[in-house]
Chain A
Amino acid sequence: MEAALLVKKLRSQFAGPFELNLGMGMCAAITGSSGSGKSLFLRMIADLDPNEGEVWLNERERASMSAPAWRKQVTYVSAESGWWTDKVIEHFAVNRRSEVAALAARLGLRVDLLDAPIAQLSTGEKQRFSLIRAVLPDPPVLLLDEPTGPLDEESVVRVEALLRERMATGASILLVTHDPNQAERLGNQRYRMAAGHLEMP
């Protein structure tokens, strides 16, 4: 199996060391209790927190790329979405409105929400829009932190379908989830995080 994302001796003062080998189009699902270091692990791979060790994407080492270039390819979606202007659509590239609308419809979001102020959105709506924001540029690796945490069952099904489709076209996903059933449904590899270390379940 060719590794799309390869993690070697990745550690920080709070968690690790981690080893991970994620194939192209594969999903590694990580479960574990709150505070065990799941989010920290994803943030370290995205280089959002200080860390040591190596991360490789398709045979290219992270250190050989600028941090923004790396994050464009290995994109982290946090459990709590962040927004920096008033309206939803202003967080997307201007020329991609129709694609955003199509994805929104697939995830069960009303299209008129595109022009709504962020403040009017529910947590679940914001979570789905932040996922759309991340998948739109088609990054080869997605680091998803509880992407369906605040969603109802029907929306979960829609999000999972979208993620499967992305995997079929070659995207690799590292998924943190509280739901063991979701880990089973999506994860080709499954891990448990305990006290800052990855374990096989």
Chain B
Amino acid sequence: MNPILLTPLDISIAASLIILDAALSIWLKLRLHRQIAIAATRMVVQLVAIGYVLRFIFSLNNPAVTLLLVVVMMLVAAREVAARPERRFRGHTNLVIGFVSVGFATFVTAILALTTAIRPQPWFDPHYAIPLAGIILGNVLNSASLSLDSFLGSVHRERQAIEARLSLGEAYRQAIAPLVREAIRRGLLPIINQMSAAGIVTLPGIMTGQILAGLDPLEAVKYQILLMFLLSGGSGLSALVVSYLAAWRLTDQRQRLRLDRLSSRS
């Protein structure tokens, strides 16, 4: 069964719904019509652009170019991880921590899936590698930034408690452990919620897309299950790596709590 291809006219009809939103905004004085227009235009331009980029990269079919694109996506994700937390490290530490955690988690899970489950020929075929890396990145980015935000926020809040433990001669590792645990927990919650709600509250996007594209629902479900496993693994890895890296960066060889390495502006 082939997917039903959309024509520009089909899309224009759907675009009238955006006009409806804008009209609502004007009628109800929501003052959102400008934002709606800008967001809708951005969405269309960005998606069309990425469509062309993907088509181009698929046609090249060059592993180095595929890798380059994936690394660029990781850098953008790392920037998000770095920028979201309320508290930040001085300098580029946030970005480095974000890149290492997100990159590591994405590589590990994506390569595992490509070499053991999906198994395209060759395994780095951009048709599979790039969308897969993209989905994993989106989730992993979320986990990593939640974990980092939770960790840096709680370190700041719990400073007295951590230093009290250090003063009594406890190891830094021990004094910081509850905060690291809490940060990892925080990073894992969204994927747990997503898994529990899948199929009841939400029909996950990938599955819906594949069903619309003509795939048998059970085949689509299998894909979605695989993906959920990948996402939970990726979330766990990135939450773990980001929390431990941040904890390690906040101490030194004399096991001090180095809050001076966080920037002063909150």
Chain A residues in contact with chain B, CB under 8 A? Answer: 46-50, 66-73, 75-78, 80-84, 130, 133-134, 137
Contact = CB atoms under 8 A, between A and B. Distances in A.
Most chain A CB within 10 A, of B158, B166, B252, is at B166
Contacts, number: 69
A152 B163 CA distance: 26
19 contacts: A47-B256, A48-B163, A48-B257, A50-B252, A50-B258, A71-B167, A71-B169, A72-B168, A81-B160, A81-B164, A82-B158, A82-B161, A82-B162, A82-B164, A83-B160, A84-B158, A84-B162, A133-B164, A133-B168
A181 B254 CA distance: 36
Interface in B164-184: 164-171, 175, 178
A68 B255 contact: yes
Contacts of B161: 82-84
A75 B170 CA distance: 11
A69 B165 contact: no
Contacts of A82: 158-165
A48 B256 contact: yes
A48 B164 contact: no
A13 to B, nearest CB: 10
Given A68-B166, A84-B161, A84-B165, 5 more contacts: A47-B254, A68-B169, A71-B166, A71-B167, A84-B175
A77 to B, nearest CB: 7
B86 to A, nearest CB: 22
A33 to B, nearest CB: 23
Contacts of A69: 169
A72 B169 contact: yes
Most chain B CB within 10 A, of A49, A73, A84, is at A84
B164 A68 contact: no
A77 B167 contact: yes
B178 A84 contact: yes
A76 B160 contact: no
